[in-house]
Structure 1
Amino acid sequence: MALTRQVISTLQDNGTDIMGPDVMAYHYPDASIISGSLLTVEANHFAVLKSRGAVLGVYDTGQYPIQTPDKPLLGGFVTGFFGGNSPWQYEVLYVNRAKLLVRASGVATSAEMAEMVYQVDYYIHVDSKDDALKLTTHMPFSGHYIKADEVASYAAPVVEQAINQVVQVTPMEKINEHIHEVVELLKEHMSAFLSVFGITLNDAKVLILPKDDRMRELISLRAFGLSELDAVRYYTALKMAERGLVSAPNMAVGAPFSIGGATMGTYPVPDGHASVTLPKG
């Protein structure tokens, strides 16, 4: 049985590359690689050739003929003893050297123990053949892929720790004033962590917001220079306006509302959780 020379590539039959913008590394799913096979490495890839766990070589862009020890095992000898397949098992691991976008999110707590949600977008890439080898050595494949979201899972505890280090000692209203400090600390921690896997961190962007929608709106009003009381009053007025209540402007300016000469005021009811509008006097 003759063994057929093959071309090893990430390009599919329709011309598209199997390593999309969410793929960090790809395990070529064919172990029947023989001498003379052509290993094709695209401009934005590295390739790692392994045999039974041992690294035989790391390749940059280009096309390379593979020389393997299975060349003498041809014809009837291979057919009779190994069912037509060489006993040598080879793997090709492709590593994406393009810049990838990774996203992480979670919850931190402010100095007041208020819950804050954060979203981190960071850009990563594999810079060299040595780094490609680090990635395939230290990060396991899930099936035939290492995807960007798996990198995010590995880095999630580091992201959470770096953000909490600043957020937990900062009042909620002042967190955005320290956002540059958060970003720099995050980049420092992430760069050190990702370098173990041969991954270079290019840049990071952080967004931190109160988890509670109501609190986000109140802080937005406070940003206009309103006092805490005025912010609550304007927030209430906005909610009243959304429901079509004509007394919303009066709530905003803290003035009573008159209907037919009767002045209306707002009074709390005994349960302390609601209010009712009644004529004054």
Structure 2
Amino acid sequence: MSLQIRGSVISTERENGTSMMAEDVIIFRYPKEEVTSKSIIFVQPNETAVVVIQGQVQAVLPPGTHNVQSPQNPLSSFLSRFRYNALPFDTIVFYASTTRHEVRIVGVSQTQDLVPLTYEVAVYYRVTDPSKLVFNVQFGGNVFKDADLARYVSPMIDQEVSSIINYVKLYEIFKKLTDVTNAVSAGLKPFLTEIGVELISVRVIRLLPQDDELRRIIQLRDLGLDVEKAIRLYLAGSLTSKNDPASVNMALGIPYYPNLSTLVNLPDNLIRVNLRGNDQEQKQQ
């Protein structure tokens, strides 16, 4: 998807009025070959522009219109200081989003009793120092998105989540949600601050066993049933899905004695004959 340029205006807008700064884009790298000394850099209200020349940040431009050759523009000072008539070829403009963003990190850890748990953590943040962020992330293309940041911080989140639940048994895990949230926040906040990102909040969305059967039993237990009855009701539901007549007995906790004809593939008459024969032999004895 190429960016169309109207005159010498450098912006995140395309010709059709849409923006390169989609809701999941944190940084957009403008094609450097289009930046000239006669350019006008246009910054939207929810953006900040970082101009990097020869590997150094020469300007951080707030929302508005910025003429490169204007005396008030820090780039014009760069040009006059080095007596350049045009910006060098290695001039790059990065646009950073200043709105609130959200990423969700999903992973797997385990409890003290070795039960695998799937967790999902939502992280809310905003960019406060775009120049730091530009120099601390790697670009696979012209954009750096929420998903890229999620991959960047997921090892740290996995470490903080595991530092709590690895030492807790399964039946106590839901009492530790606050501890997990605090651990992730404490570990993530200084890390994000170093790259120019402010952590707004952290929320644990999901923390459940990987095994569907165990998860269902825990849900029944949390409804107020004891563990034995919760297991029985789960098994009753499984039997019902298979049209097994023993499902009602399983739910009630009553033994199920099926008709013998349902256990062996024999005619009913033959079964009755065998039963009568057994009765006669017992009388003779």
**Given the two structures, how large is their TM-score scaled by the length of structure 1?**
0.81
Contact 1:32-1:90 at 8 Å conserved across structures? no
Q: Residue in 1 aligned with 2:118?
A: 117
Q: Structure 1: how far apart are the matches of 2:90 and 2:257?
A: 88
Query: What does 1:101-112 align with in structure 2 at a 5 Å threshold?
Result: 101-112=102-113
- The one-letter code sitting in structure 1 at the alignment partner of 2:243 is G
Q: Structure 2: how far apart are the matches of 1:194 and 1:86?
A: 32
Cα 1:5–1:190 change in 2 (3 A) is same
Cα 1:15–1:168 change in 2 (3 A) is same
Q: Structure 1: how far apart are the matches of 2:157 and 2:224?
A: 32
Q: Structure 2: how far apart are the matches of 1:22 and 1:188?
A: 25
Contact 1:38-1:65 at 8 Å conserved across structures? yes
Cα 1:233–1:60 change in 2 (3 A) is same
Contact 1:8-1:40 at 8 Å conserved across structures? yes
Q: Residue in 2 aligned with 1:95?
A: 96
Q: Structure 2: how far apart are the matches of 1:212 and 1:158?
A: 25
Q: Does 1:255 align with 2:254?
A: yes
SS at 1:257 equivalent: coil
Out of 172, 188, 191, the position equivalent to 1:190 is 188
| Per-residue deviation, 1:104 | 0.7
| Per-residue deviation, 1:254 | 1.2
Cα 1:87–1:57 change in 2 (3 A) is closer
- The one-letter code sitting in structure 1 at the alignment partner of 2:57 is V
Query: What does 1:1-281 align with in structure 2 at a 5 Å threshold?
Result: 6-67=8-69, 69=79, 87-127=88-128, 131-206=129-204, 207-257=206-256
SS at 2:104 equivalent: strand
Q: Structure 2: how far apart are the matches of 1:142 and 1:21?
A: 18
| Per-residue deviation, 1:157 | 1.1
| Per-residue deviation, 1:235 | 1.2
SS at 2:33 equivalent: coil
Q: Structure 2: how far apart are the matches of 1:132 and 1:138?
A: 10
Cα 1:86–1:218 change in 2 (3 A) is closer
- The one-letter code sitting in structure 2 at the alignment partner of 1:100 is H
SS at 2:16 equivalent: coil
Question: Considering only CA atoms, is the larger Rg found in Structure 1 or Structure 2?
Answer: 2
| Per-residue deviation, 1:198 | 0.5
Q: Structure 2: how far apart are the matches of 1:189 and 1:48?
A: 28
Q: Residue in 2 aligned with 1:269?
A: none
Greater helix proportion: 2
Q: How many pairs align? A: 247
SS at 1:16 equivalent: coil
- The one-letter code sitting in structure 2 at the alignment partner of 1:96 is S
Q: Structure 2: how far apart are the matches of 1:24 and 1:139?
A: 11
Unaligned segments of structure 1, at least 5 residues: 75-84, 265-281
SS at 1:31 equivalent: helix
Q: Structure 2: how far apart are the matches of 1:259 and 1:107?
A: 43
| Per-residue deviation, 1:209 | 0.6
- The one-letter code sitting in structure 2 at the alignment partner of 1:209 is L
- The one-letter code sitting in structure 2 at the alignment partner of 1:27 is R
Q: Structure 1: how far apart are the matches of 2:166 and 2:84?
A: 65
CA deviation profile, 1:100-121 (whole Å, cap 9, x unmatched): 1111111011010110011111
- The one-letter code sitting in structure 2 at the alignment partner of 1:59 is L
| Per-residue deviation, 1:172 | 1.1
SS at 2:218 equivalent: helix
Percent of pairs with identical residues: 28
Q: Structure 1: how far apart are the matches of 2:7 and 2:253?
A: 84
Contact 2:32-2:89 at 8 Å conserved across structures? no
- The one-letter code sitting in structure 2 at the alignment partner of 1:181 is D
Contact 2:157-2:188 at 8 Å conserved across structures? yes
CA deviation profile, 1:171-227 (whole Å, cap 9, x unmatched): 112211111111111111111111111011112221111011011011112213333
Contact 2:53-2:88 at 8 Å conserved across structures? no
Greater strand proportion: 1
Q: Structure 1: how far apart are the matches of 2:16 and 2:235?
A: 59
SS at 2:175 equivalent: helix
Q: Structure 2: how far apart are the matches of 1:86 and 1:93?
A: 15
- The one-letter code sitting in structure 1 at the alignment partner of 2:27 is A
